[in-house]
């Protein structure tokens, strides 16, 4: 960890208000180094909204030569599952970040308990016997002050005794709380003697039955930040009203000056240098056509609307991953959206364009046919096969080349041929010409139909002068179509995904229908397609542009080189834009 001021950022480095605060703090020598954290609750998998918080906290730490902790906020026993902890770690790494230390809020239960005893000793907290309903009734409203609990003036000794007995498990769930003694008339309701501890006799996944009491979020979160020496605690805007309480907890407990409170951590081998953190809020990432609530994402899984948390239609990070979205494309979205205090909804098309932008540069090209129609080149000998060499990327030679088999019979897309062309149709028509990509120009001599009048085969002749590399190859025809050599094509299952919801704001349409009524039934369509061999041979998670069709990824669970399964990541153009 360096104590030198961080190097000046590159000219194109993000310059949002949070980075400006960090820059100013470093310039003023307020911190030797920047420490941040990302604090998810392990009660579900991470979603696209979390990506913003991850990129920000880990990104700022990286840019300014500091570090970022991954802290699992596991203060709610019973709600949290170790499976989610592993999933969160995997997703953060996949996005391209690594943590300085992995911590759990439950590592600090003993510290929180000692801090609570200190507050009681200082006359700043008391045990309250009011029920939850009574507490609510005493709290007042936005326009009316609250009333003091009849238990507010208990003496320090009595409070210490009662709180120790709460900890010993002597009282029933909900029968008592420990409350901060702040101000029942405060304009900010969060300061009207908020609860610090509640009784819950529920086993915890890390601490087992050790604790019958659990700290409340505001208390645990503020103290966790202070304990870990977090300098900038970045969170979303809904915590703005909690900041005075956050600061109250940090200041009144004053961990840096009370090492006796955190001694147990040092004994347990945790390196801790407590500091006074500063909370800074930013606006959430909201995307149209997306759900960013873990509870609702869980509902989609539990009610069987999707095939699990990693279903490619889900906007969880693992769903996006399986769909073929790239970490770089997601980071690009977060960059584009920027960091501010302004709440807004970002159009999903912006997200898709970020993914396209990344994949256009990073995905090699291949050919695939998803709705096949047979085309026979009648002026090539029966059984003719040859090997062509194609560039893997039209704009980047470093991608190299590959061999593409060509044969007398090829598959083309059914929609690249029509008998009755609409105006402007540039592809194949009876008697017309089209370029077979990388081969040459073919003319449609004959249309073969079955008994029902359905087109089953096109018989074409290849202009030998137009073959790739020959002088006639530059002859102009209107259209170029892709193809796959029938003799060497590999059959593939191709999953065509689209947006999971058919309205932009599924949970806020105001049409009286439940949000699940807006699930798009056409968001998944499975077809059988044909791939060129070099696409079929892909490793799981390899992404390609299938020319003229879109970007596709070899499914990370189901794809096998001998039995390929591809998911459509995104089409080449925005098919949802008006008029598209």
Q: Would you name the residues annotated as active-site residues?
A: 41, 284, 294
5 CB-contact burial (10 Å; exposed 0-12 / middle 13-18 / buried 19+): middle
The CA distances from residue 78 to 46, 82, 198, 206, in Å, are: 19, 11, 14, 11
DSSP 67: E
Report the distance separating Cα 548 and Cα 416, nearest Å.
Answer: 11
Whichever of 44 and 529 has its CB closer to ligand ATP, that residue is: 44
- Smallest distance, Å, CB 104 to ligand ATP? 13
Whichever of 40 and 319 has its CB closer to ligand ATP, that residue is: 40
Residue length, the chain? 580
Assess 556 for contact with ligand ATP (CB under 6 A). no
The CA distances from residue 340 to 17, 24, 283, 289, in Å, are: 7, 17, 6, 22
**Contacts with ligand ATP: how many residues (CB under 6 A)?**
14
Nearest residue to the partner Mg ion, using Cβ: 41
Assess 285 for contact with ligand ATP (CB under 6 A). yes
Binding at 50: pick from ligand ATP, Mg ion, none (beta carbon under 5-8 Å per type) = ligand ATP
Report the distance separating Cα 283 and Cα 61, nearest Å.
Answer: 19
Of the candidate spans 34-42, 196-204, 227-235, 447-455, the one that interacts with Mg ion by CB under 5 A turns out to be 34-42
Of the candidate spans 35-43, 330-338, 450-458, 529-537, the one that interacts with Mg ion by CB under 5 A turns out to be 35-43
Report the distance separating Cα 555 and Cα 113, nearest Å.
Answer: 48
Whichever of 299 and 520 has its CB closer to ligand ATP, that residue is: 299
Binding at 401: pick from Mg ion, ligand ATP, none (beta carbon under 5-8 Å per type) = none
Angle between the N-to-C axes of helices 109-121 and 259-267, in degrees from 0 to 180, rounded to the nearest 10: 160
Binding at 550: pick from ligand ATP, Mg ion, none (beta carbon under 5-8 Å per type) = none
DSSP string, 212-281: SEEE-HHHHHHHHHHHTT-SEEEEEGGGGGGHHHHHHHHHHH-GGG-HHHHHHHHHTT--------EEEE
Whichever of 315 and 567 has its CB closer to ligand ATP, that residue is: 315
Report the distance separating Cα 8 and Cα 30, nearest Å.
Answer: 17
- Smallest distance, Å, CB 284 to ligand ATP? 4
Binding at 402: pick from ligand ATP, Mg ion, none (beta carbon under 5-8 Å per type) = none
Bridge-based pairing state of the strands 213-215 and 67-72 = unpaired
Q: In this structure, are residues 41 and 80 in contact, taking their beta carbons and an 8 Å threshold? A: yes
Q: How many CB atoms lie within 10 A of CB 12?
A: 7
Of the candidate spans 37-45, 87-95, 108-116, 560-568, the one that interacts with Mg ion by CB under 5 A turns out to be 37-45
The residues in 41-80 that bind Mg ion, with binding defined as CB under 5 A, are 41
Report the distance separating Cα 58 and Cα 368, nearest Å.
Answer: 39
Binding at 40: pick from ligand ATP, Mg ion, none (beta carbon under 5-8 Å per type) = ligand ATP
- Smallest distance, Å, CB 558 to ligand ATP? 28
> Please, which residues have CB within 8 angstroms of residue 221's CB and are 6 or more apart in sequence?
39, 73, 105, 246
Of the candidate spans 11-19, 177-185, 267-275, 284-292, the one that interacts with ligand ATP by CB under 6 A turns out to be 284-292
Nearest residue to the partner ligand ATP, using Cβ: 49
The residues in 195-254 that bind ligand ATP, with binding defined as CB under 6 A, are 235-236
Q: Is 176 helix (H, G, I), strand (E, B) or coil?
A: coil
- Smallest distance, Å, CB 39 to ligand ATP? 6
- Smallest distance, Å, CB 254 to ligand ATP? 24
Sheet holding 543-546, edge to edge: 365-366, 543-546, 550-554, 565-570, 490-497, 524-531, 368-369
Of the candidate spans 291-299, 312-320, 343-351, 410-418, the one that interacts with ligand ATP by CB under 6 A turns out to be 291-299
- Smallest distance, Å, CB 526 to Mg ion? 36
Nearest to 498 by CA among 393, 410, 575, 413: 575
Whichever of 50 and 154 has its CB closer to ligand ATP, that residue is: 50
Binding at 39: pick from Mg ion, ligand ATP, none (beta carbon under 5-8 Å per type) = ligand ATP
Q: In this structure, are residues 34 and 28 in contact, taking their beta carbons and an 8 Å threshold? A: no
Whichever of 41 and 240 has its CB closer to Mg ion, that residue is: 41
Query: Which of 164, 284, 459, 548 is the binder for ligand ATP (CB under 6 A)?
Result: 284
- Smallest distance, Å, CB 292 to ligand ATP? 4
- Smallest distance, Å, CB 433 to ligand ATP? 52
Whichever of 91 and 311 has its CB closer to ligand ATP, that residue is: 91
- Smallest distance, Å, CB 278 to Mg ion? 20
* Residue 294 in tokens: 């873990």
Query: Tokens 């041929």 — which residue?
Result: 417
65 CB-contact burial (10 Å; exposed 0-12 / middle 13-18 / buried 19+): middle
Assess 529 for contact with ligand ATP (CB under 6 A). no
Query: Which of 293, 343, 344, 387 is the binder for ligand ATP (CB under 6 A)?
Result: 293
Q: In this structure, are residues 498 and 466 in contact, taking their beta carbons and an 8 Å threshold? A: no
The residues in 31-70 that bind ligand ATP, with binding defined as CB under 6 A, are 39-41, 49-50, 52-53
Whichever of 49 and 364 has its CB closer to ligand ATP, that residue is: 49
Report the distance separating Cα 18 and Cα 340, nearest Å.
Answer: 8
- Smallest distance, Å, CB 73 to ligand ATP? 6
Binding at 229: pick from Mg ion, ligand ATP, none (beta carbon under 5-8 Å per type) = none
Bridge-based pairing state of the strands 67-72 and 372-377 = unpaired
Whichever of 333 and 367 has its CB closer to ligand ATP, that residue is: 333
The footprint of ligand ATP (CB under 6 A) covers: 39-41, 49-50, 52-53, 235-236, 284-285, 292-294
The footprint of Mg ion (CB under 5 A) covers: 41
């Amino acid at each position: 960890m360096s104590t030198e001021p961080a190097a000046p950022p590159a000219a194109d480095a993000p310059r949002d208000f949070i980075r400006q605060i960090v820059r100013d703090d470093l310039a003023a020598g307020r911190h030797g180094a920047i420490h941040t954290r990302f604090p998810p609750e392990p009660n579900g998998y991470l979603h696209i909204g979390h990506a913003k918080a991850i990129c920000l906290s880990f990104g700022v730490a990286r840019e300014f030569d500091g570090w970022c902790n991954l802290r699992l906020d596991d203060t709610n026993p019973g709600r949290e599952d170790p499976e989610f902890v592993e999933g969160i770690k995997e997703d953060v790494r996949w996005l391209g970040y690594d943590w300085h230390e992995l911590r759990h809020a439950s590592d600090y239960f003993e510290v929180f308990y000692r801090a609570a005893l200190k507050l009681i000793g200082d006359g700043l907290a008391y045990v309250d016997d009011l029920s939850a309903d009574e507490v609510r009734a005493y709290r007042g409203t936005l326009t009316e002050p609250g009333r003091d609990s009849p238990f507010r003036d208990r003496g320090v000794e009595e409070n210490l005794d009662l709180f120790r007995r709460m900890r010993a498990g002597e009282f029933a769930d909900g029968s008592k709380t420990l409350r901060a003694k702040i101000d029942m008339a405060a304009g900010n309701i969060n300061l009207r003697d908020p609860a610090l501890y509640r009784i819950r006799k529920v086993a915890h996944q890390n601490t087992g039955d050790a604790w019958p009491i659990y700290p409340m979020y505001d208390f645990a979160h503020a103290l966790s930040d202070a304990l870990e020496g977090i300098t900038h605690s970045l969170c979303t805007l809904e915590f703005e009203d909690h900041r005075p309480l956050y600061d109250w907890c940090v200041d009144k407990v004053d961990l840096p000056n009370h090492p006796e409170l955190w001694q147990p951590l040092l004994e347990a081998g945790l390196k801790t240098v407590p500091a006074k953190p500063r909370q800074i809020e930013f606006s959430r990432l909201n995307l149209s056509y997306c759900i960013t609530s873990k509870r609702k994402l869980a509902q989609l899984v539990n009610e069987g609307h999707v095939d699990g948390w990693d279903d490619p239609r889900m906007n969880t990070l693992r769903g996006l991953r399986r769909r073929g979205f790239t970490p770089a494309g997601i980071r690009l979205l977060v960059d584009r959206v920027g960091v501010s205090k302004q709440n807004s909804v970002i159009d999903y098309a912006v997200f898709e364009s970020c993914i396209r932008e990344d994949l256009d540069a990073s995905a090699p090209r291949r050919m695939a046919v998803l709705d096949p129609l047979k085309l026979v080149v009648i002026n090539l000998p029966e059984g003719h096969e040859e090997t062509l060499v194609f560039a893997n990327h039209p704009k980047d030679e470093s991608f190299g080349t590959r061999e593409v088999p060509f044969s007398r019979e090829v598959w083309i897309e059914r929609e690249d041929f029509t008998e009755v062309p609409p105006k402007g149709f540039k592809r194949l028509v009876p008697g017309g010409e089209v370029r077979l990509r990388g081969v040459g120009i073919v003319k449609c001599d004959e249309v073969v139909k079955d008994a029902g009048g359905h087109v089953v085969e096109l018989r074409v002749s290849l202009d030998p002068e137009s073959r790739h590399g020959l002088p006639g190859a530059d002859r102009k025809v209107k259209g170029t179509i892709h193809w796959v050599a029938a003799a060497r094509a590999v059959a593939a299952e191709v999953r065509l995904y689209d947006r999971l919801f058919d309205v932009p704001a599924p949970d806020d349409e105001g049409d009286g229908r439940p949000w699940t009524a807006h699930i798009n039934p056409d968001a998944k369509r499975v077809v059988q397609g044909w791939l060129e061999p070099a696409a079929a041979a892909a490793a799981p998670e390899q992404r390609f542009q299938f020319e003229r069709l879109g970007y596709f990824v070899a499914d990370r669970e189901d794809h096998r080189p001998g039995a390929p399964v591809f998911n459509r990541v995104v089409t080449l153009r925005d098919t949802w834009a008006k008029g598209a």
